Structure 1
Amino acid sequence: MLDVSTTGVLVGILLVVLLAVGVHIGVALGLTGFLGILLAINPQAALAQLATVPFSTTNSFTLAVIPLFILMGALATQAGLTTDLYRAAYNWLGRLAGGLAMATTLASAAFGAACGSTVVNAAVFTKMAMPEMTRFGYDKRLSAGCIAASGTLASLIPPSILMIVYAIITEQSVARLLVAGLVPGLLSATIYLLGIYALAKARPDLAPIPDVTITRAERWRSLRGVWGITFLFVLVIGGIYAGFFVPTYAGAVGAFGAFLIVAFRGRLGGRMLVETFKDAGVTTCTIFIIVIGGIIFARFLTYTGLVGDVSEWMLALQLPPLAYLAGFAVLYLLLGMLIDPIAIMVMTLPVMFPIMTGVGYDPIWLGVISIKLAEISLITPPVGLNVYVVRSASPVPLTLEQVFAGVSVFLVLDVLTLALLIAFPSIVLVLPNMMG
């Protein structure tokens, strides 16, 4: 058997090579973790991980909430809730400076309360809002950047798949984490709205005010369409916060609630249900592969003692807590330029979580900060996942350069939000601390 240090170096190099040649992140993590255990411990231990981890992971009651929330979002999309949200937001904000972009942000934030997936959020609103903003003369860069950035709000606003992944990896309360994301998510959306308004005021050519008259009656009538999202949000998050049910039950109730909305709107069909369940299943399997591979990799780090050694070494430096937080943020942003947020969390948290909590950071607060950093990574070049989603889903011709140019303003706004969350931790902890 090789010594731990040599094995760690070889495994690290192999992981980088596999990612560089395009191997799926879940497969790369699982394979390198397996080889690491094989080389550092013995083949029996490595084979035992392959035999037990896939089943024990997918058999987890806590992890069952992920496919349920994904299904809820897919059914909400089929019910047409996104269209109703966008119409209502447009009717109320459309006549303001930057109103269409603000409407897109507000509707995207609201849909995040039923979706939980940034990719789905960005894809849906690209197809819906991009042609509309282009038709009214909005700058393509601002339009695309707004959609890509607003899609990330689904990561913070509960229910959030990233929050659940964080909770599973760090063994924290899923309910407290989901509730903790609400105020920071609303804060992020508000700062986006204020930033768009200020930019449109300073540069009216980027976001012309549409020459359309919207009556007061039309505005109030459009609010009828937001009842579906309101119903799902109160049902799921209200139920969790009030203690009526645990998050997994909340996911099941939310999915069933979305199913009832689809049926109520007369959109229930055999083919639609098959496609919806298929899409939800594919998305779930993709996430589970990453989590399974990450757990095998984390077992390698734990069994060989690398986590403990790195933690002890880092804590022995006795740096100020902000220095550790700065290093944590830089690590996330650098990795976010190359791989998706779930993979980042699976790779980094087994090592970084004990270090960050060891210097005094609250684990729930750290979860929200991790998600916010993951949000930023979703629109950071060269591999901002949401940027590629907007580019590929857009009915209007777009280049990657235009979308990345558009998100630059929102990256500045995200840094401002992050600074507020760090300076005032109570923004994150106020709701979780009020739970029983």
Structure 2
Amino acid sequence: MDPFLTALLLLAVVFIALGAGIWIFSGLMVAALFCFLVLLDFPLVRVGSIAKPIIFKGVVSFELAAVPLFIWMGEIISRTNVSAMLFQGLAPWVNRLPGGLLHANVGGSVLFSALSGSSVATTATIGRVTSRELFSRGYDQKLTLGSITVAGTIGIMIPPSITLIVYGLIAEVSVARLFAAGVLPGIMLGALYSSYIAAAHVVRPSLNPPTAETFTWADRRRGLLRLLPTVILVIFLLGSIYGGFATPSESAAVGVLGALVIAHFSGGITLRDIYDSAMSAVLTTAMIGSAVAGAALLASAIGFLHLPQLVSEAIAALQLSPMMLLLVLTIVYVLLGAVLDGISMILMTVPITLPLLVANGFDPVWIGVYLVLMVEVGMVTPPIGFNLFVLRGITGIPIGRIALATFPFFLLMLLGGLLLAAFPGIALWLPSLL
């Protein structure tokens, strides 16, 4: 069978399974069994003997131990007033810039991302505070909605990123190197968003709110104190990993302790909050772990089909340059992101796209950052863009209006992908120092 036809048939099975509303794990398992039983015509007994060690290996990875702890840390932080402290701490320092407090929204998202590792959590927590504050001060609705939606996506780029951990497990790439690779691209995206906000206010002064707050140097000093706990925890988390003092899992354990300390001193946290955050982390970890196991079995089935090699040979026959290949894959990922969540997209496509991109000279660490950026694009792409739904729930504004407000920032995300392709050192410089 033609490799492209096989790949399309496999994607169709996954789409149908996930579209039916079943769990990600079940959808991936259905696709894997379809490969083994239908496309490969393996007997069921042989499939069972193949599946057992693969699934076991997929869920007992040491790197996976960091996932529940980082998720728990983010859950704890999201139940505190840290997001309000970040906004209040940044506001006195950015108020004089064109765009004013909109920059506090972007900067707060970058800092909060380093504690949550989740795009949805960042958007929900930061958006709940900043949307109310910015609307009440008369900031432009489109820029406010767009900046909140896309700034939240930085949560899966800045370490500790759960999506980068999942990619590292599937691609067998060092999680510490992936974390280092995500830092500068995350900051770059934040800088692009802030630059657009500033430029829009310079070109159209009418976007500025009717009244601007004034802050004294005493306000700025108090702002630094509000930022200090978050900055210390972020530096400690990342410094312990990159300094070689702790593995990501060990650093995550300390991060949970730090989150509890911050929660206690920044508004208090009850035993019920701790229990609820732990249960939420367990449920999310179970979803990710089972999905990783299903993806491992699907990757094995795809390997038996020799699909990556066949697709690579077919694309090589088209004589596409590496950049043209990247452009084609970007279009594919934008389309996939419109209908799939990020974890599903990573788990489904990495077994095929990773060998293809590596064969064309791309570094596996760089590929991880590129794929995370594609997931970010998917999170703001209708009709399934999760961040659009999150902001809809917070503000009550129709999704169509939020999507239109997000579109200029969507283009900036694609510009970020172009910059990554043109200057791969943005992602690879920090990992090269480890």
Structure 1: 5+ residue runs without aligned partners?
none
The structural deviation recorded for 1:264 is 4.3
Shift in Å, 1:265: 4.5
**Mean Cα displacement is larger for which, 100-109 or 276-285?**
276-285
Do the aligned residues in 2 keep the contact of 1:338 with 1:383 (CA within 8 Å)? yes
In structure 1, give the amino acid aligned to 2:102. Answer: A
Aligned length: 432
State whether structure 2 residue 325 is matched by structure 1 residue 327: no
Q: CA deviation at 1:307?
A: 2.6
Q: Which deviations, in whole Å up to 9, do the C-alpha atoms of 1:97-119 show, x marking residues without a partner? A: 32121110110111111111000
- For 2:47, the aligned partner's letter is A
User: For residues 206-256 of structure 1, what are the alpha-carbon distances to aligned partners after superposition, in whole Å with 9 as ceiling and x for unaligned?
Assistant: 341643232210111121111222122111111111111221222222122
Return the alpha-carbon distance in structure 2 between the equivalents of residues 160 and 417 of structure 1: 18
- CA offsets 1:108-163 (integer angstroms, 9 cap, x no match): 11111111100000111221111111111223222111111000111211111111
The aligned amino acid for 1:179 is A
1:414: how far off?
1.5
User: What is the CA-CA distance between 1:9 and the residue it aligns to?
Assistant: 6.5
Query: Alignment identity in percent?
Result: 33
Determine the structure 2 residue equivalent to 1:87. Answer: 88
Alignment-derived partner of residue 363 in structure 1: 364
1:183: Cα distance to partner? 1.0
**Contact map agreement 1:379 1:407 (CA 8 A) in 2:** yes
In the TM superposition, residue 3 of structure 1 has moved relative to its aligned partner by 12
Check whether the contact 1:98–1:209 (CA below 8 A) recurs between aligned residues: no
- The 1:46/1:416 distance shift into structure 2, 3 A limit, reads same
Distance in 2, matches of 1:8 and 1:357, equals 19
**CA shift digits 1:332-388 (9 cap, x unpaired):** 111001101111111111011111111111111121111112211211222211111
1:36 maps to a residue whose letter is C
Deviation at 1:282, TM superposition (A): 2.3
Counterpart secondary structure, 1:181: helix
Q: Corresponding residue for 1:412?
A: 411
CA contact (8 A) 1:94 1:210 kept: no
| CA distance, structure 2, for counterparts of residue 398 and residue 321 of structure 1 | 41
- Asked if the contact 1:97/1:209 (under 8 Å) is kept, the reply is no
SS, match of residue 123 in structure 2: helix
Whether the 8 Å contact between 1:37 and 1:45 is mirrored in structure 2 is: no
Residue number in structure 2 paired with 1:18: 17
Is the Cα–Cα contact under 8 Å of residues 140 and 402 in structure 1 kept in the other structure? no
Residue of structure 2 equivalent to 1:129: 130
Q: TM-score, with normalisation over the residues of structure 2?
A: 0.93
The 8 Å contact of residues 365 and 429 in structure 1, kept in 2 or not, is answered as yes
Q: Which residue in the other structure is 1:104 paired with?
A: 105
Shift, 1:286, TM fit: 2.6
- Asked if the contact 2:82–2:266 (Cα under 8 Å) also holds between the matched residues in 1, the reply is no
1:29 is aligned to: 28
- Give the whole-Å Cα distance in 1 for the aligned partners of 2:9 and 2:184: 43
Query: Any gaps of 5 or more consecutive residues in structure 2?
Result: none
Deviation of 1:267 after TM superposition, in Å, equals 1.9
Aligned to 1:433: 432
Q: Is the 8 A contact 2:81 2:267 kept in 1?
A: no
Cα offset, 1:18, TM superposition: 2.2
Q: Verify the 8 A CA contact 1:315 1:359 in the aligned structure 2.
A: no
CA RMSD of aligned residues (A): 2.2
Q: 1:427 to 1:90 in 2, by over 3 A?
A: same
The amino acid that maps onto 1:338 is V
Q: Which moved more, 1:284-293 or 1:349-358?
A: 284-293
